[in-house]
Homo-oligomer: A and B are copies of this chain.
């Protein structure tokens, strides 16, 4: 594993590609956005004009695009994947519905190449610090082959299963819990505001009780700020809870709490705060309660 093709140089992809360069890999990037390519070149990477050009000579292909449709387009439009060596391992790291990951994995396998379903959590902060959690599903030997590449971008590389789609499933369930935990933290704090207690004192108590969650502790304090730093945007949860609901629809699983949390993030985005920190879903409650 020496040469990596990297597709998708956005907010997450740019720092991930930089961490691959820091780890000593050669990185050949492709993106429709010239700014992403310029960033890669400035960091010592190689800018390529097309996916096929990036794939030439690559030992691994990392996909950090927006969704499954983009991943499929990058790999298969104009038969781009045929330009990659036969031993190349394809690492799909974008958040996609499990069924679509299985479909892409099947198309990759049909070309004789290896595939790792490897979505991440940790956001831009984790991407920059190379501290992402990576939920990888692949046969053990394929996972081991890809491990040096994955470990250059994350601090916790978990082998969650041997079938493509299982990584996406863990990520899907992860996002379901994260999104609902943020929304309910907002509901709890907005109730406390209405009753009239010191919300900071209360939050300090609740994070240490059976009411605690990782999100309550992390996002709770930012809910009490009027315009907090953006570590992950409201629109990320509009997208990710949309993927969770799609997974529920494809498997016919009822997801009422997720559906409701989606509405609250979607409403917050609709009121113009899609780019605000996701803690600001509390604005949907303030709008409902007339305390905005």
Which positions in A face B, CB cutoff 8 Å?
98, 121-122, 133, 135, 158, 160-161, 165-166, 169-170, 172-178, 180-181, 183-185, 187-192, 194-195, 197-198, 201-202, 205-206, 209-216, 218, 244, 247-248, 251-258, 260-261, 264, 285, 288-289
Q: Are A256 and B260 in contact (CB under 8 A)?
A: yes
Copies of this chain, how many?
2
Q: Would you call B181 and A181 a contact (CB within 8 A)?
A: yes
Which of A201, A218, A255: most chain B Cβ within 10 A?
A255
- Chain B: CB-nearest residue to A189: B173
Question: Are B135 and A194 interface neighbours, CB within 8 A?
Answer: no
> Given A170-B202, A170-B206, 5 other A-B contacts at CB below 8 A?
A173-B191, A180-B257, A187-B255, A212-B213, A213-B215
Chain B residues with Cβ under 8 A from A261's Cβ? 257
A283 to B185, CA, bound (A): 25
Complex: A52 Cα to B187 Cα, angstroms: 42
Contacts of A190 in B (CB 8 A): 253-254
Contact A177 B172 (CB under 8 A): no
- Whether the pair A173, B161 counts as a contact (CB closer than 8 A) is no
- Which of chain B's residues have a CB closer than 8 A to the CB of A133? 209
Query: Hey, which chain B residues are within 8 Å of A172, CB to CB?
Result: 191, 195
B184 touches A176 (CB 8 A): yes
Asked if B205 and A170 sit within 8 Å, CB to CB, the answer is yes
Residue among B210, B214, B215, B255 making CB contact with A178, cutoff 8 Å = B210
| Partner pick for A202 among B160, B175, B178, B195, CB 8 A cutoff | B160
Contact status A257-B254, CB under 8 Å: no
A210 and B202 within 8 A (CB): no
Chain B nearest CB: distance from A262 CB in Å? 12
Which residues of B have CB within 8 Å of A174? 206, 209-211
B residues near A188, Cβ cutoff 8 Å:
173, 176-177
Residues from chain B with Cβ under 8 Å of A256 in the complex = 187, 260, 264
Tell me which residues across on chain B come within 8 A of A216, comparing CB atoms.
177, 213
